Structure 1
Amino acid sequence: MFNSEESQKLLQMEKALQKHIIGQPEAVEAISRAIRRARVGIGDPNRPIGSFLFTGPTGVGKTELANSLAVEYFGSKEAMIRLDMSEYMERHSVSRFFGSPPGYVDSGKGGQLTEAVRSRPHSVVLLDEIEKAHRDILNVVLQVLGDGRLTDSRGQTVDFKTPS
């Protein structure tokens, strides 16, 4: 299922994250538990490892926690895909996020989310300021969280599921 290196990462997850995140023990513990559950086969294999909603004022470590998770679990800060959802407030921005439908400008390109996950499937996806996104985007994000996959405008399915 997993090697001894990953076993050590899983066992030491809280300690590793707490080196970077101060004053958020509940969040660190919840994330660590979710990852361990998924990796030992207790989680739903058809869904992402975890979906977390970090709330709170600026400066409490929400983004840093996602960044630290990318570094400690996936081994690189490049394993965090960060999308500023305030850039997707308008209905027309939906196509930029998921890709333009066939026949529209840039229909051959994938969307910013789908292409990022396709190119780096083992990653942390941070949808920063998601409350500002257009409701059509929020509806599709809920689908991704439930189904663990998304078919982009080109008909290609992007997998958000728990990695094997």
Structure 2
Amino acid sequence: MNQHLIIGVILNCEGDVYRDIAMSPKASLADLHQAIVSAFSMEAGQMAAFYTTDNDWNQLDEIPLMSMDIEAQADMTSNLIATHFTDKQGRLIYIYDFMDMWTFMVEQVRWADGDLPENAVVLSEGNKPEKAPDPDFESDNLAGDSFDEDAFNDDPYGDEVDPMDPYADL
């Protein structure tokens, strides 16, 4: 009897759009990449990357489709699924097409025994929108509510001459 890992892939968009995909634990992240592209009917041939995350889905280390740097971390082909999904743990962020930024949350759902086809969609909900949603870039506003250029002004009255200003003597 074969054991499969059921991986939930949720598209970051309005509404519920997700696929549960049965994968062999011996498959690579490149295999999962291909399964996601197929399951969501994405246009093939775009760059993509997985990212490790913490429990709050904060993006951490990149696992690229192809490594462009010899000394860089391993790419998708050399990363096995079982390395990232173990004992009900494991989450990744998957970004497909760096121009459109299709963003997916990927996590382990469960283990399944039985004869399932490799890379098979076992549960499907919702349809992919025609256009990728705008990425939601958030940051902790560490500088306050807004950037105030005058906060760095050492001349509050404007009467000092800047020695670096070539037009100061005119």
Whose Rg is larger? 2
Higher strand share: 2
After TM superposition, the score normalised by the length of structure 1 is 0.25
Higher helix share: 1
After TM superposition, the score normalised by the length of structure 2 is 0.25
Higher relative contact order at CA 8 Å, sep ≥6: structure 1 or structure 2?
2
